Amino acid sequence: MQQFNIEQSLLKEGIISSEQLATLKLEKQRSSISLVQAIRRLNFVQEDILIEFLSTKLNLPKFNPADFSPSKELFSLLTGDFVWKAKVVPIFKKNDELAVGLLDPLDASLLEELRFRTGLFIKPYLIKEKDLLGILNKYYDRRGLKGTAIQSKEEIQIEDTIIKEEGSKPSVIEAVNLLLLQALKVNASDIHIEPQEEKMRLRLRIDGVLKEISPPEASHYNAFVSRLKIMSNLDIAEKRVPQDGRFKVDLKDESLDVRVSVIPTIQGESLVLRLLRQNRRLLTLEELGMSKENLKIYSRLIQRPSGIILVTGPTGSGKTTTLYASLSSLKTIDKNIITIEDPVEYQLDFCRQIQVNPKVNLTFATGLRSILRHDPDIIMVGEIRDLETATIAIQAALTGHLVFSTLHTNDAASAITRLIDMGIEPFLIASCLNGVVAQRLIRILCPKCKKSIGKSVFKNSPYKDKEIEVYQAVGCQDCLNTGFAGRLGIFEIMELTPEIGRLTMQRASSEEIISFCRSSGMKFLLDDGWEKISLGLTSPQELMRVLGSG
């Protein structure tokens, strides 16, 4: 199949606009799908036009229903659960070649999997979605996609411990597995399982907001909790004290690390499951959501050979994602990158990662001391929590290492005063701090259902002197009726200039530093948020939800 730049070809032939391409890229990033899949999901191009375009550019044949001759032998080549999930159908087999109808001929991983499953050469055919679904509905059993059973052993396999008592009932096992699959399907980051007086409540955190879903019967609650505690290697008999555990779920295409927190409440045990998808693609710096100006400043900061870069924000604001993207952009064969984290959220193949373990006295401080004896070039410390860790991190920066870490502050300027409050001398901060990034995550308006409410002037915004078109959330089936689909970052980046260094030496307050930064033209979180609003990516209400009315 010949190679071509699909984005440029679509633009050049006028099939999509540059604005549509920008939206498609966001959807592609949010859902980890291909551009063709994003086009189909957002209905930006009529299917006939898309198929004709791909057929011409790739020299691929189109499926003709009149030529289709179904046979049991043909359908036995691929399992029902696979074809339903992959959205493919076998069309005919000739010698050692299998013709397959599919929706995205550029999905190289799917073509490779088809070759692996069948042992045949694969010839892609472009097929209309209605024809594909017609064949699937008529000839393939859609097991596991209806009702409560999971799709197959191939779909999900759990590293089990010995199953005990009520937690081992097959219906409970299936219900737990289904919940995990459902959470993955909607890209949930957390699952909340909460006891109530006469029922149990299930909620998923999607794009930072909790959404309630239908729970199992209340009578199954104890079995449900026992099953999860067994999987997490926790004591199912202990219901009086908090417990923390973890387990792994291995899907056919990815691995899921689940961190489990159990706390006793007066209603019963409450569980929260944090879902960490190990195979999720790392975002690049360009995909974080930084403006061109912010990206230029930040790229300059991280290219310095030594010093400290701090990323600040509350829990769940995307700090780890920013740090991982930063490390990924700096990876080269001549750099030794080491991290110490609590927890290690994603496994990176280009660096050495250490998991904090207080039980054996492996803390951020003790781990950081060991890292310095391991000849590092770049160090990432998951969080600066105390004076000891801060002191060692600063010593590392002053001795020629580039150090990344995080703090829990509301803005960039407060990172300086927080370090001083910890006991770090101001002259040390001024000597080694390269800059501070403050960030939040805001939800992106669903491109399929967002609605323009006209142009307005917002007097309390950076756009007080001109009208901007504003969109609001509506809600549709694609976005689970939330009106939003995915998230991106808003940022403020404070570079430690000589002037800010002097303010630091004078122990200036965060308000004084902010005032100076504003007079120097620095863009703050609110400014970056309003820029996203002006681009139609989010709404004023969402920005207010994240930053507050101030």
Q: Which of 277, 305, 339 is the last residue of a domain?
A: 277
Q: Residue 34 is encoded by which pair of tokens?
A: 């291909």
In the predicted structure, residue 517 carries a pLDDT above the cut 90: yes
Q: Which carries the bigger pLDDT value, residue 503 or residue 237?
A: 503
Beta carbons within 10 angstroms of residue 507's beta carbon: 11
In the predicted structure, residue 276 carries a pLDDT above the cut 70: yes
Q: Provide the β-strand partners of residue 440.
A: 490
The answer as to whether 157 is a domain residue is no
As a dihedral over the C-alpha atoms of residue 213, residue 214, residue 220, residue 224, rounded to 10 degrees, the angle is -30
Q: What share of the chain is helix, strand, coil (3-state, %, to 5)?
A: 40, 25, 35
Q: What is the mean pLDDT of residues 531-538?
A: 93
| Residue 258 near residue 248, CB atoms below 8 Å | yes
* CATH code, 225: 3.30.450.90
d(CA 348, CA 330): 13
The answer as to whether 530 is a domain residue is no
Q: Provide the β-strand partners of residue 126.
A: 62, 102
In the predicted structure, residue 169 carries a pLDDT above the cut 70: no
The answer as to whether 458 is a domain residue is no
Instruction: Identify the residue whose tokens are 């040390």.
Output: 428
- Looking at the fold, whether 11 and 131 belong to one and the same domain comes out as yes
Range with the poorest average pLDDT among 231-240, 246-255, 306-315, 318-327:
246-255
SS3 of residue 139 by DSSP: helix
- Looking at the fold, whether 347 and 492 belong to one and the same domain comes out as yes
- Looking at the fold, whether 336 and 419 belong to one and the same domain comes out as yes
pLDDT digits (tens, 9 = 90+) for 438-497: 999 999 999 999 999 988 777 677 777 778 889 999 998 888 888 999 999 999 999 999
The answer as to whether 476 is a domain residue is no
What is the C-alpha R_g of the chain?
26
- Looking at the fold, whether 309 and 333 belong to one and the same domain comes out as yes
CA distances from 211 to 325, 515, 516 (A): 29, 39, 41
Give the pLDDT confidence score for residue 245 in this predicted structure. 92
The answer as to whether 481 is a domain residue is no
- Looking at the fold, whether 133 and 13 belong to one and the same domain comes out as yes
| Residue 180 near residue 249, CB atoms below 8 Å | yes
For residue 525, what is the enclosing H or E element? helix 525-534
Give the pLDDT confidence score for residue 142 in this predicted structure. 54
- Looking at the fold, whether 132 and 197 belong to one and the same domain comes out as no
Q: Provide the β-strand partners of residue 263.
A: 270
Band of residue 368 on the pLDDT scale cut at 50, 70, 90 = very high
The answer as to whether 62 is a domain residue is yes
Q: Classify residue 233 by its DSSP letter.
A: T
Amino acid making up residue 422? M
Share of residues in the chain with pLDDT > 90 (%): 55
- Looking at the fold, whether 380 and 245 belong to one and the same domain comes out as no
Q: Residue 425 is encoded by which pair of tokens?
A: 């001398």
d(CA 339, CA 355): 9
Amino acid making up residue 234? L
Domain hosting 322: range is: 285-442+487-522
In the predicted structure, residue 254 carries a pLDDT above the cut 70: no
Q: Classify residue 60 by its DSSP letter.
A: -
SS3 of residue 262 by DSSP: strand
How many domains is the chain partitioned into structurally? 3
In the predicted structure, residue 252 carries a pLDDT above the cut 60: no
CA distances from 449 to 15, 181, 445, 473, 489 (A): 21, 26, 8, 7, 21
* CATH code, 100: 3.30.300.160
d(CA 433, CA 401): 12
Q: Provide the β-strand partners of residue 77.
A: none
Q: Classify residue 216 by its DSSP letter.
A: P
Instruction: Identify the residue whose tokens are 């994603």.
Output: 346
The answer as to whether 535 is a domain residue is no
Q: Classify residue 386 by its DSSP letter.
A: S
- Looking at the fold, whether 265 and 116 belong to one and the same domain comes out as no
Q: Which carries the bigger pLDDT value, residue 365 or residue 3?
A: 365
CA distances from 74 to 86, 87, 110, 128 (A): 17, 16, 19, 20
Q: Classify residue 250 by its DSSP letter.
A: E
Q: Which of 108, 126, 145 is the last residue of a domain?
A: 145
Number of helices and strands (H, E) in the chain? Answer: 20, 19
Q: What is the mean pLDDT of residues 268-293?
A: 90
Band of residue 155 on the pLDDT scale cut at 50, 70, 90 = very low
Q: What is the mean pLDDT of residues 221-250?
A: 87
Amino acid making up residue 183? A
Taking phi first (over 0 means left), then psi (-120 to 50 degrees means alpha), and beta for anything else, what does residue 444 get? beta
Q: Provide the β-strand partners of residue 407.
A: 312
Give the pLDDT confidence score for residue 435 in this predicted structure. 98
In the predicted structure, residue 165 carries a pLDDT above the cut 50: no
What's the predicted TM-score (pTM) here?
0.67
pLDDT digits (tens, 9 = 90+) for 331-360: 999 999 999 999 888 888 899 999 999 889
Q: Please name the residue ranges forming H helices in 342-481.
A: 364-372, 387-398, 413-422, 426-432
SS3 of residue 426 by DSSP: helix
| Residue 485 near residue 479, CB atoms below 8 Å | yes
Residues whose CB is less than 8 angstroms from the CB of residue 9 and which lie 6 or more positions away in sequence, other chains included:
53, 57
d(CA 181, CA 315): 25
pLDDT digits (tens, 9 = 90+) for 74-91: 888 888 878 888 889 999
Range with the poorest average pLDDT among 37-41, 120-124, 295-299, 353-357:
37-41
The answer as to whether 23 is a domain residue is yes
SS3 of residue 542 by DSSP: helix
Please state the three-class secondary structure of 497-523 as a single string. CHHHHHHHHCCCCHHHHHHHHHHCCCC
Q: Provide the β-strand partners of residue 118.
A: none
pLDDT digits (tens, 9 = 90+) for 377-392: 999 999 999 999 999 9
Residues whose CB is less than 8 angstroms from the CB of residue 508 and which lie 6 or more positions away in sequence, other chains included:
none
- Looking at the fold, whether 188 and 54 belong to one and the same domain comes out as no
Q: Residue 421 is encoded by which pair of tokens?
A: 């409050």
- Looking at the fold, whether 78 and 119 belong to one and the same domain comes out as yes
* CATH code, 371: 3.40.50.300
- Looking at the fold, whether 245 and 289 belong to one and the same domain comes out as no
| Residue 158 near residue 250, CB atoms below 8 Å | yes
- Looking at the fold, whether 429 and 296 belong to one and the same domain comes out as yes
Q: Which of 277, 297, 328 is the last residue of a domain?
A: 277
Give the pLDDT confidence score for residue 253 in this predicted structure. 64
In the predicted structure, residue 168 carries a pLDDT above the cut 60: no
d(CA 291, CA 528): 8
Beta carbons within 10 angstroms of residue 11's beta carbon: 15
**Average model confidence (pLDDT) across the chain:** 87
